[in-house]
Amino acid sequence: MSKENIKIIQSVLKKQGYYDLAIRFENSYYEDYQIDNWNGGIGEVNIFVNPHHFLELINLGTDTQNILLKVFNGLPHDYYEIRSIIFSINTNVNIENFGNNLYIFVDEAGDMDFSIKGSQYYMFNFLIKNRPFNLHEYIANYRYSLLERNLNPSNDRLDIERFHACEDNKYIKEELFNIISTFDENLVKTYSYILDKRKVTPDKRQEKDKFYIENLSFAIKKLLDELKINKDFIIITDRLPIEKNKRNQVGALKKGIKEYLKRKCLNLRYDIFHHSSASSANLQIVDYISWAIFRKYEHNDSNYYNKIEKYLIKIDEVTERRTVIHYEK
What would the mean pLDDT of 126-143 be, rounded to a whole number? Answer: 83
Instruction: Give the DSSP H or E segment for 320.
Output: none
Separation of alpha carbons 16 and 248, rounded Å: 51
Band (pLDDT 50/70/90 cuts) for residue 307 is: very high
Q: Look at residue 84 in the predicted model and tell me its pLDDT.
A: 94
Cis peptide before 132 (omega within 30 of 0): yes
In three-state secondary structure terms, 52 is: helix
Separation of alpha carbons 262 and 269, rounded Å: 11
Contact criterion met (CB below 8 Å) for 7 and 34 = no
Give CA separation, 144 vs 73, 106, 160, 258, 319, in Å. 29, 25, 8, 41, 42
Q: Look at residue 23 in the predicted model and tell me its pLDDT.
A: 86
**pLDDT digits 0-9 by tens, 75-102:** 999 999 999 999 999 988 766 656 688 9
Give CA separation, 227 vs 71, 217, 220, 308, in Å. 43, 15, 10, 19
Question: What b/e readout covers 67-106, taking b as 16+ CB neighbours within 10 angstroms?
Answer: bbbebbeeeeeebbebbebebeebeeeeeeeeeeebbbbb
Q: Look at residue 104 in the predicted model and tell me its pLDDT.
A: 97
**What letter represents residue 16's amino acid?**
Q
DSSP for 17-38, written as a single string: T-HHHHHTTTT-EEEEEEEE-G
**pLDDT digits 0-9 by tens, 182-235:** 888 888 999 999 999 999 998 888 888 889 889 999 999 999 999 999 999 999
Separation of alpha carbons 189 and 310, rounded Å: 9
CA 173 to chain centre: 12
Strands 81-89 and 270-275: unpaired
**pLDDT digits 0-9 by tens, 229-261:** 999 999 999 877 766 666 777 888 899 999 999
**pLDDT digits 0-9 by tens, 48-79:** 998 888 998 999 999 999 999 999 999 999 99
